[in-house]
Amino acid sequence: MHAAPPFSWQSLRANTPAADAFVHLNHASTSLPDQAVFDAQRDFLDLEASLGMHRAVDRMGDALAEMPALVARLIGAQPDHIAFVDSAARGWAQVLSAVAPGQLLEVFVSRQEWAANLMTVANLARARMTVLQHPADGDWAQVVATALDQRERSRIPVVSLPLQSSFCGEPNRLDGVASVVRDAGGWLFVDASQAVGQSAVNMQRLGADVLVFPARKWLRGPRGIGVLALSERALSLSEQASTSELGAAHFGLPAMLDVHGTRIDRLDETAVTLSAKPGASRFQAYDYAPALRLGLGAAVVTLLASNVGKVSTQILAMANGLRARMLQIDGVTPADAGGSGLVCLRTTGVDHQSVVHRLWQRHINIAAVGAVYAPLAFGHDESVLRLSPHVLNLEGELDSVQEAIAQAVDYARNKHA
């Protein structure tokens, strides 16, 4: 793997090939990888072209074997508790399918829940969903405790919360939630998609049983790969820990299996007996793209070299400056409370997607987020404009975006007047 370059914001931008091609303020959706990510992927592809896949994997075996430990270091987890998946949503779905095999589940979600996770719950016949009330004072532990106290006792509780909202950027305080969930015999799922790469994330301190995130967002890795991390408690199989020891039914095998993480213990003409291999491997596929995995590793190396705390501080400063500029535009109101790199806005009488399209034509990337992605947060026709700066962005770019959005909003209003 290539060593990270000497750190500075300027060097990060200089080592990001697409940084000067346009103004990118959509890092919350897909960020811009730096050259190290492309080099890691290209090196493997070149090797594969000359040696074939199996020999290339063998040649890069040591680098590939380092990936779980590298990711674990970033999020405060154990290497054998890491599984690589093709997306955060797929990892989330795989784990939910394995919770308490054969038993009924009650899945508690917030109105910030990602749409794909809601689809997974809806499609799992033994699960039902309960929507948590948003805490007025930010205390999720009390909200969760109240909801779990009122739960149906015949169902195993699963509590799913994002570390940061994808549509308003709100950082969720999860202090104390894990202990409340465990006391109720349940499991805590944390979606860190908008957090990893933007702020410090420590799975141990969170007490999460499941944590998921993709590489493509704030981490600045490649698209098509994500991370699933599990707690020791979640990985304790039924034969290793009884229900009374865990306080909840165990995690079994996921819905999708293959030879990477599962083995056949007994096979005859009428039955197959299966068991899981140690660690998180049962949630990881045998077939994968080695180049993507190496690209993810390169992104982690760059972030660690940059210092996560410094990155977080710089992102917040950029977002605060951008938000202040946006609120000077007539008819634009905030849809976020600050505190993160997501700047979310509402406009009066304007189709947000049309604003996104007009800015795209001016080589500026932003997003409109609505019910397609967060159906519990938005009505059918509701949305917000979402701008998400990163350490790559320049102050001068923020000025140009202010002017461009003001013009796009004004154009949309006059067009529909």
Tell me the pLDDT tens digit for each residue of 28-48: 999 999 999 999 999 999 999
Q: How confident is the model at residue 248 (pLDDT cuts 50, 70, 90)?
A: low
CA separation for the pair 320, 246 (Å, rounded): 44
What are the boundaries of each domain within the chain?
9-30+307-415, 39-301
Q: Across all residues in the chain, what is the average pLDDT?
A: 92
Selection from 348, 351, 327, 349 nearest residue 337 by Cα: 327
pLDDT of residue 6: 55
Q: How is residue 348 written in tokens? A: 């009066």
Task: Flag whether pLDDT at 239 surpasses 50.
Answer: no
Long-range contacts of 69-73 (CB under 8 A, 24+ apart): 70/297, 70/300, 70/301, 71/227, 71/229, 71/296, 71/297, 71/300, 72/229, 73/300, 73/304
Task: Flag whether pLDDT at 242 surpasses 90.
Answer: no
Tell me the pLDDT tens digit for each residue of 324-380: 999 999 989 999 988 999 999 999 888 899 999 999 999 999 999 999 999 999 988
pLDDT of residue 270: 83
CA separation for the pair 261, 255 (Å, rounded): 13
Task: Flag whether pLDDT at 189 surpasses 90.
Answer: yes
Q: What's the CATH superfamily of 9-30+307-415?
A: Aspartate Aminotransferase, domain 1 (3.90.1150.10)
Q: How confident is the model at residue 109 (pLDDT cuts 50, 70, 90)?
A: very high
Selection from 252, 163, 257, 285 nearest residue 212 by Cα: 163
Q: How is residue 360 written in tokens? A: 């795209």
CA separation for the pair 227, 52 (Å, rounded): 26
pLDDT of residue 240: 45
Task: Flag whether pLDDT at 74 surpasses 90.
Answer: yes
In percent, the amount of the chain with pLDDT more than 90 equals: 81
- Tell me the angle at which helices 395-415 and 352-361 cross, rounded to the nearest 10 degrees: 130
Q: How confident is the model at residue 275 (pLDDT cuts 50, 70, 90)?
A: confident
Q: How confident is the model at residue 238 (pLDDT cuts 50, 70, 90)?
A: very low
Task: Flag whether pLDDT at 192 surpasses 90.
Answer: yes
Dihedral sign of CA atoms 223, 225, 231, 233 in order:
positive
Q: How is residue 234 written in tokens? A: 């979640």
- Tell me the CATH number for domain 39-301: 3.40.640.10
